[in-house]
Amino acid sequence: MDVQAIKRRFGIIGNAPALNRAIEMAFRVASTDLSVLISGESGTGKEVFPQIIHQFSARKHGAYIAVNCGAIPEGTIDSELFGHEKGSFTGAHEKRSGYFEVADNGSIFLDEVSELPLSTQVRLLRVLESGEFIKVGSSRVMKTNVRIIAATNVDINKLLRQGKFREDLYYRLNTVPVYIPPLRERKEDIMILFRKFAMDFAERYRMPEIVPDQEASDMLINYYWPGNIRQLKNITEQLSVIEKKREIDAGMLRKYLTDYSDETLPALIESAGDRSFASEREILYKILFDMKNDMNDLKKLVHEIIEKGPHNIDIDDDSLMDKLQPANEPVYESVVSRLPDLKKRNSSHIEDTEEIIEESLSLQDKEIELIKKALEKYGGRRKMAAMELGISERTLYRKIKQYNIE
């Protein structure tokens, strides 16, 4: 079966080479029993590819179970996946079969596999290596013949470095990697998808189809689309329902793409020797601390110049004075020109003062503030707020409870 036929069967829209490559990879690996790790940003449509793999495999007549690992509480994830015995924990009033027992001779799709606790990762690794698992509260080893397809929307390599994901499990899952490109890497597909969604919503709500003008089309194509296809579909639906005019111009579209910018900002590129930042917030903190240190160094240098004179200071080549002269000649000359007045003013006593910064630099306070802003921005919708913050909905829910945020 060719790629176009697969697209028609599973409702996939687009002709980008990277998308066609992902579909071809899924089709080729389907006939094997190899584990597959599907990677891609949230909203790219990763959930379709496990279905392609299952439907074109020898297991197509067996069970297919999709599990969102990020939506299951940590305390019950083992019971959901592997089952439990009656009385094994509080609330276990009867024996229960887990997904790996139910899906025997079928396929299991583990979405957001990076959210699995480390203890569950050990159990999953055993299933991959030997097909064996033990129910919660049992000592009897059970066998299962299940194909595992996993997906993640985060960079697992960073989790490996942080010790939050097992390296041996990663290599067992990543036997065949399938990468789903984000929408910004499929610019040729954006207008195709927009027209398809516009037609669907026009039919659903029984109203004329919306049509963007040239400037609005350019905005759609050049936008970053952090929410990918899901975000494009939502915005198309909003335009279809809310706007009275059926021809969409740039002004109307800008109300829905509030963070749209005509300028392309430079991207941060992490080199091998650079520090890995968990978020943009940490980068801002580092800049603030560096600025404070530079101010303190400059203050000390000025006092030393006042006491000894600018030509009697023994400073190494890498010091702040070398940065002031000659690279910052105006700053240096300004400091030297004011030396007489500064000496006279401070001849009796030089008192070093430190600037008091009222703003809290606590990471916890900043995290609480950002969570509150995200929730306020999206009217309390946790899913959208979690997407804005770059964390999973489960993590956001845990932090809301941890910090008692209303």
- Sequence-ordered list of residues with C-beta below 8 angstroms from that of 31, at least 6 positions apart, any chain: 56, 57, 58
Phi, psi of 12 (to 5 degrees): -90, 130
> pLDDT tier at 214 (50, 70, 90 boundaries)?
very high
Q: Which domains does the chain have, with CATH numbers?
A: 3-181 (3.40.50.300), 184-254 (1.10.8.60), 280-345 (no CATH), 363-403 (1.10.10)
Query: What pLDDT, on a 0 to 100 scale, did the predictor assign at position 317?
Result: 43
pLDDT digits (tens, 9 = 90+) for 94-105: 999 999 999 999
Query: What pLDDT, on a 0 to 100 scale, did the predictor assign at position 258?
Result: 84
pLDDT digits (tens, 9 = 90+) for 39-58: 999 999 999 999 999 999 99
Query: What pLDDT, on a 0 to 100 scale, did the predictor assign at position 25?
Result: 96
pLDDT digits (tens, 9 = 90+) for 226-266: 999 999 999 999 999 999 999 999 999 999 998 887 654 44
pLDDT digits (tens, 9 = 90+) for 81-92: 999 999 888 888
Query: What pLDDT, on a 0 to 100 scale, did the predictor assign at position 104?
Result: 95
> pLDDT tier at 328 (50, 70, 90 boundaries)?
very low
92 or 118, which is more confident: 118
pTM higher than 0.75 for the full model? no
| Mean pLDDT in residue range 389-405 | 82
> pLDDT tier at 389 (50, 70, 90 boundaries)?
confident
Query: What pLDDT, on a 0 to 100 scale, did the predictor assign at position 324?
Result: 47
Query: What pLDDT, on a 0 to 100 scale, did the predictor assign at position 58?
Result: 95
pLDDT at 391 over 70: yes
Q: For every residue of the chain, which 3-state class applies, written as one string?
A: CCHHHHHHHHCCCCCCHHHHHHHHHHHHHHCCCCCEEEECCCCCCCCHHHHHHHHCCCCCCCCEEEEEHHHCCCCCHHHHHHEECCCCCCCCCCCEECHHHHCCCCEEEEECHHHCCHHHHHHHHHHHHHCEEECECCCCEEECCCEEEEEECCCHHHHHHHCCCCHHHHHHHCCEEEECCCHHHCHHHHHHHHHHHHHHHHHHHCCCCCEECHHHHHHHHHCCCCCHHHHHHHHHHHHHHHCCCCEECHHHHHCCCCCCCCCCCCCCCCCCCCCCCCCHHHHHHHHHHHHHHHHHHHHHHHHHHHHHCCCCCCCCCCCHHHHHCCCCHHHHHHHHHCHHHHHHHCCCCCCCCCCCCCCCCCHHHHHHHHHHHHHHHCCCCHHHHHHHHCCCHHHHHHHHHHHCCC
166 or 291, which is more confident: 166
Worst-scoring range by mean pLDDT, 25-34, 229-238, 333-342? 333-342
pLDDT at 187 over 60: yes
User: What is the Cα–Cα distance from 90 to 86, expressed in whole angstroms?
Assistant: 10
**What mean pLDDT, rounded, does the chain reach?**
83
